[in-house]
């Protein structure tokens, strides 16, 4: 494992709490080895060299302790936006686990985005955090079939394994949101794929699903994505070029129809899918407790 310098690891979230209600952002690792063909973090604007190589930040746990001690207000710390906190090296290094222990000790909440089943290792700490602060686990699922998942996301837990992890988290009382994004146009934007994911999410006990019926493409990420399309889906790249040109936001031509069947299916199972509703729901018990205390 290569270690790289970092001044701070936990920073204030610049999104105005609009992304799952996160107040702070934490990235212990840089780069990702999942190999997902569509990853926006490959984009040149993020300045991540050798993106497929995972590096850890030097003295991460001490820096996280210092960062938490310096915060005037507690809140929800989000992680997983740029690099999966449960990459294969985490099993041995346990940097994410130790960070969660500190988050618990200092009275913060946690919002974790991952594609790895390793998150279930830390159910005990997540349950402890949930005693005093909001906790949300976001499991990304884009393909209902393991065979397609293996092509799109070759070096990470399969779809079926992720739903098994979601079920373990749900059974332990940890709120689960399925991140249904990106839904790749001409590959994943079928009724069957969307309906199967919603039904599997329901069976796994997920309370929320947040979708994006399309994909974003820019700079070097677009080149990588098109290369992988040529390797695995001959002819699809031409459809993208014709449909989107150099557009950044590539919304599925079927987005309207997909949204209708998606929302209907979610409503049938009582699954929330609007961001504001998800935030309100998983933070509600904590906020009510704070109001009662005051």
Q: What is the pTM of this model?
A: 0.93
| Structural domain range at position 54 | 2-293
User: Rounded distance, CA 40 to CA 55, Å?
Assistant: 18
Do residues 33 and 155 make contact, with C-beta atoms less than 8 angstroms apart? yes
Q: How far apart are CA 185 and CA 92, in angstroms?
A: 37
We report the CATH number of the domain holding residue 285 as 3.20.20.70
pLDDT for the residue 219: 82
Q: Edge to edge, what strands does the sheet with 55-57 contain?
A: 2-4, 55-57, 29-30
Count of domains observed in the chain: 1
Return the pLDDT at 294. 43
What's the rounded Cα separation, in Å, for the pair 23 and 111? Answer: 10
- The maximal CA–CA distance of the chain, rounded, in angstroms, is 61
What pLDDT was estimated at residue 292?
42
Per-residue pLDDT of the chain (294 residues; tens, 9 = 90+): 899 998 889 998 766 668 999 999 999 999 999 999 999 988 887 778 888 899 999 999 999 999 999 998 999 999 998 899 999 999 999 999 999 999 999 999 999 999 999 999 999 999 999 999 999 999 999 999 999 999 999 999 999 999 999 999 999 999 999 999 999 999 999 999 999 999 999 999 999 999 999 999 998 899 999 999 999 999 999 999 999 999 999 999 999 999 999 999 999 999 999 999 999 999 987 765 543 444
The rounded Cα 180 to chain-centroid distance in angstroms is: 9
Per-residue pLDDT, 281: 95
DSSP notation for 152-177: HSTTS--HHHHHHHHHHHHHTT--EE
Count of beta carbons in the 10 Å neighbourhood of residue 58: 12
């Amino acid at each position: 494992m290569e270690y790289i310098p970092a001044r701070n690891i936990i920073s204030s979230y610049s999104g105005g709490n609009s992304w799952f209600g996160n107040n702070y952002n934490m990235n212990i690792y840089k780069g990702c080895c999942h190999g997902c063909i569509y990853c926006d973090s490959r984009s040149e604007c993020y300045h991540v060299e050798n993106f497929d190589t995972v590096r850890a930040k030097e003295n991460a746990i001490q820096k996280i302790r210092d960062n938490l001690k310096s915060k005037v207000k507690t809140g929800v710390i989000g992680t997983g936006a740029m690099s999966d906190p449960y990459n294969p090296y985490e099993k041995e290094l346990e940097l994410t686990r130790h960070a969660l222990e500190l988050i618990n000790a200092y009275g913060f909440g946690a919002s974790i985005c991952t594609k790895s089943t390793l998150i279930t290792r830390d159910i005990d700490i997540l349950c402890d955090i949930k005693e005093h602060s909001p906790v949300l686990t976001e499991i990304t699922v884009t393909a209902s079939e393991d065979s397609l998942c293996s092509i799109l996301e070759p070096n990470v837990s399969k779809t079926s394994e992720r739903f098994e992890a979601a079920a373990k988290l749900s059974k332990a009382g940890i709120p689960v949101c399925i991140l249904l994004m990106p839904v790749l146009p001409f590959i994943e934007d079928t009724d069957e794929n969307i309906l199967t994911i919603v039904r599997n999410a329901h069976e796994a006990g997920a309370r929320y699903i947040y979708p994006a019926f399309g994909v974003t493409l820019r700079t070097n990420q677009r080149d990588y994505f098109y290369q992988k399309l040529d390797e695995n889906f001959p002819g699809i790249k031409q459809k993208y070029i014709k449909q989107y040109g150099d557009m950044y936001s590539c919304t599925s031509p079927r987005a309207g129809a997909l949204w209708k069947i998606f929302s209907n299916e979610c409503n049938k199972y009582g699954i929330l899918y609007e961001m504001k509703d998800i935030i309100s729901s998983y933070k509600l018990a904590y906020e009510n407790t704070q109001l009662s205390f005051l």
